[in-house]
Amino acid sequence: MKKMLLKNDLYAYRVTWSKEDQEYVGLCTEFPSLSWLAETQELTLTGIRQLVANVIADMKNNNEEIPIPISIKKYSGKFMVRIPPEVHRKIAEIAAEEGVSINRLVSARLAK
């Protein structure tokens, strides 16, 4: 039998050690103001997931917009970045030397 995914299962969770707190801290990328501390990684993940579920329920009750999980959010593949003209010139030079477009050069460098 296939396990049914809850909407909050699709969010990006991270569990890491907090030296300051001497416990694991659970975080959720889509809810940057939330965190959960616990003694084990398992309890931390369970705690942050439950906290997110509670916040989502509260947001629904208040007719607030709920963040779309990054894992299912649609991206166009385009974004604009402003850089100084001298950096733009340098990138254009490198791209020309490599025989590729600026877009291909920057895309390849960002993918590293």
Tell me, yes or no, whether 103 lies in a domain: yes
Query: What pLDDT is stored for residue 1 in this prediction?
Result: 45
**19 and 46 belong to one structural domain:** yes
**22 and 54 belong to one structural domain:** yes
pLDDT of 5 over the 80 cut: no
Tell me, yes or no, whether 16 lies in a domain: yes
- Tell if the pTM clears 0.75, that is, is over it: no
**53 and 82 belong to one structural domain:** no
Q: pLDDT confidence of 9, banded at 50, 70, 90?
A: confident
**57 and 101 belong to one structural domain:** no
Tell me, yes or no, whether 69 lies in a domain: no
Tell me, yes or no, whether 105 lies in a domain: yes
**Could you tell me the residue range of the domain that residue 92 belongs to?**
75-112
pLDDT in tens, 56-99: 999 999 999 999 999 999 999 998 999 999 999 999 999 999 99
Please give the tally of structural domains in the chain.
2
Which is it for the CA torsion 10, 14, 15, 21, positive or negative? negative
Q: Which is nearest to 42 in space by CA: 2, 11, 5, 13? A: 13
